[in-house]
Amino acid sequence: MAAKKAALAAIVRGSDEAEETVRAICEGEVDAFVVEDGEGNRVYTLEGADLPYSVLVERMQQGAAIVDARGEIIYSNPSLEELIGLEEDTLIGVPLRRFLGTNDQILFQRLLGETEIGPREGEMSLHRADGTQISTNFSFRLLSRDKSSTGILITDLTWKKQQAELTSRIQQLQDEERRRIARELHDSVGQLLAAISMNFVRVSDEAHRLSPAVAKAVSDNATMVNQISDEIRTISHLLHPPLLDEVGLPSALRWYTDGFSQRSNIQTTLDIPAKFDRLSPDTEIAIFRAVQECLTNVHRHSGSATCSIKMVQDADWWRIEVKDSGRGIPESKRLTLDSSGGVGLRGMRERIRQLGGTFEIETSSKGTVIKVSLPVPRENLSIGKGNNVA
């Protein structure tokens, strides 16, 4: 009796599922479905569907595939065929992992299995039919209740990688140009102003021979030359602080934040470890530019009267946090902040990413917090050893 009840319950469940499927098809909620027969899985497209997803998939720029539980291709769109360089007839029945390197094949199988838990994605190198390789992102999602078919979107990252490399190169050129201009200001313009200042000293010694008005003009000019010299020295150091090269990041940050606080009237505090090893030049300039960009945005946009900078190290990461108590980033800009942002934010994010770090923005009406994390090189793990800066 129990066996009959169980069998009857199974029939009822199957009937309910069939009825639900038929209803969805009739109401245009389904555009395609997979049926397993003696020849394997087949994909059937419904021509009368109200929402022609199949047409969208056929025309989309991303590569799209449906694979069975074994990872074999049962459907591919034209973009995937173009991406791999093979026709659909050649791809059907072929394991998709065949077009990946050994390590990526292992990653593919792991993500395919984990798709039963939820959507998964990962970067893999796709081997094309002509022997070339391209960097791609694979996104996995289950398509059937019985977990027999999985949809995979494959995005060509070539352009994104090229853009990242171009951004990195532009930043390097900017740093080199800033260093060159800073040197020119200090060595050329600075020396000329120093010479003019010395000439004013000689003229001032003969001021008793001049009329009062001319003597005052000479004195005023000498004062202005000294002011110009100070301004040029400040600009030169802002372009590329010599302290960064000579004694390291802590001294450069203290100098910059003190100057920023005086120029902006924004009370700025800096909390940084008293002792730690010198970081790589790329890491030090990345941290300095990140703080510089953050403080510039605080001054221009936040309306905050205070700002704090905190830098700490845990086992494997340097973490930098810049926090203000201003008006926050407007709601209209928050939605596109991660993908766009200003030129400065994009450059900062890419510079940090190139070094293997992360960049996060948290904002509300109570203020904004920018968090930067950078990996600590293994040789720098022993804090307090080597060339420390107090």
**Amino acid 388: pLDDT:** 39
Beta bridge partners of 63: 154
Highest mean predicted confidence (pLDDT) among 40-49, 193-202, 267-276: 267-276
379 falls in which pLDDT band (50, 70, 90)? low
User: For the residues 131-141, what does the mean pLDDT come to?
Assistant: 90
pLDDT in tens, 158-217: 887 777 677 767 777 777 787 788 777 767 777 787 788 788 777 877 777 888 888 888
Q: Go through 64-102 and write b for each residue having 16 or more CB atoms within 10 A of its CB, e for each that does not.
A: bbbbbeebbbbbbbebbbebbebeeeebbebbbbebbee
d(CA 52, CA 49): 6
CA pseudo-torsion sign 269, 271, 276, 278? negative
- Rounded CA separation 328/357 (Å): 24
Give 292-322 pLDDT, tens digit per residue.
Answer: 888 888 888 888 899 999 998 877 888 899 9
Q: Please determine, for residue 350, whether its predicted confidence score (pLDDT) is greater than 90.
A: no
- Residue 108, class by beta-carbon neighbours within 10 Å (0-12 exposed, 13-18 middle, 19+ buried)? buried
Say whether pLDDT at 32 is over 60: no
Dump strand ranges (E) for the chain. Answer: 32-37, 40-45, 63-68, 73-76, 120-127, 133-142, 149-156, 267-271, 306-313, 317-324, 358-364, 367-375
Q: Are 323 and 302 in contact (CB under 8 A)?
A: no
